[in-house]
Structures are given as C-alpha cells and as structure tokens.
Amino acid sequence: MATGSVLELRSELGQAVRRTSSIYEKMTRARSETLPKIGKNDDTALMIAGYLETHYTALETFFVRVAQHFENNLRQPRWHSDLLDKMCLRIEGLREYVIAESTVAGLRELLRFRHFRRYYVEMDYDWHRMDFLLGVIDRLHPRILEDLTRFETFLDALAAETEI
C-alpha cells in the first residue's frame, strides 16, 4: 500500500467530515430558523429530506473509497447494505473498522429513507417519520465524527508505517 494512496484516502476522509458537518449545520439551522417560520408542510419536509439524503450520501461516498482502497468486495444486488456491513469490520492486518457497529443501525435507517426517497419519489412526507429520522441523525452525527476521527488516527499510523 503506497503512502500517497493512504494520504489521499485521509484527505477524502477530511472532505467527508467537512461535507457531513456542513450539511448537518445547514439542516440544524433550517430546523431552528425556517421550520418555525413556515411550519411543517410538504415544502419543509422536502427540504429536510434533502439534507438527510445528502448527509448519508456524503458518508457512503467515503465508505466506497475505503472499500476500494482496501479491496473489499461488495455483493452487487445489495451493495449499499453490504458496504455498511464492511465498514464496521476490523480486518486483522489490513484495517481498523471505520464505523462502530452501534453506529450502523442508525445509518441503516438513513439508508432505508434514502432508498425510499430516490426510488418511490413520494412528495407527501410523514412528519412523524421525519421527526424520528431527525432524532436518529441528531444522535448519530456526533458518533460518526468520533468514529471517523478514530479511523483518521489509524490512517495516520498507516501512512507513517508505509513511509519506512
């Protein structure tokens, strides 16, 4: 494994952290400023749904880069779910887990929602479900950042190891 490719992956991790944090901050601002003014309606649900989907997609994009870098094979029919399973595996002698198993359950909720949003093109969102998902992301976002910080430490050590 070349040092440059590890450093590239580390850079992509930094990009994923910045993107997900920015999306989360914008969603938080929309919840505290826009929702109280406009209320919970189809338009605001669509806005929040977009933030939820984009947050998950930014993470998944990084997970794909990790899978490619460490040559994790993904089963084609359910590769999105398979990818999450791979990201919580510690592979002895190859890599540390990227996200904790406890983080995966929440990410599965976001993955299911993203799948629903992309393929069923519903415009009538259930605000009870939206509130549930907002609770999920509120609990999940700090844990994801912790997991990615720990993985960044692993990548730093790996880069230093490959320099020798």
- Give tens-digit pLDDT for 22-47: 999 999 999 999 999 999 998 899 89
* In the chain, % of residues over pLDDT 70: 92
Q: Cα separations (Å) of 131 from 45, 49, 125, 128, 143?
A: 10, 11, 11, 5, 19
Confidence class for position 72, pLDDT limits 50, 70, 90: confident
Q: Supply the pLDDT for residue 34.
A: 94
Task: Read off the pLDDT of residues 108-161 as tens digits, 9 standing for 90 and up.
Answer: 999 998 877 766 656 677 899 899 999 999 999 999 999 999 999 999 999 888
Higher-scoring residue by pLDDT: 3, 8: 8
Asked if the model's pLDDT at residue 85 lies above 60, the reply is: yes
Query: What pLDDT score was predicted for residue 122?
Result: 61
Q: Domain of 117?
A: 3-163
Q: Which pLDDT score is estimated for 123?
A: 63
What's the whole-model pTM score?
Answer: 0.90
Domains in the chain, number: 1
Instruction: State the pLDDT at residue 116.
Output: 77
Residue-level pLDDT at 93: 86
Indicate if the pLDDT at residue 164 is higher than 50.
no
Question: CATH number for the domain including 83?
Answer: 1.20.120
Give yes or no for residue 106 having a pLDDT over 60. Answer: yes
Cβ neighbours, 10 Å, residue 128: 8
Query: Can you name the residues that pair with 95 across neighbouring β-strands?
Result: 91
Is the pLDDT at 59 greater than 80, yes or no?
yes
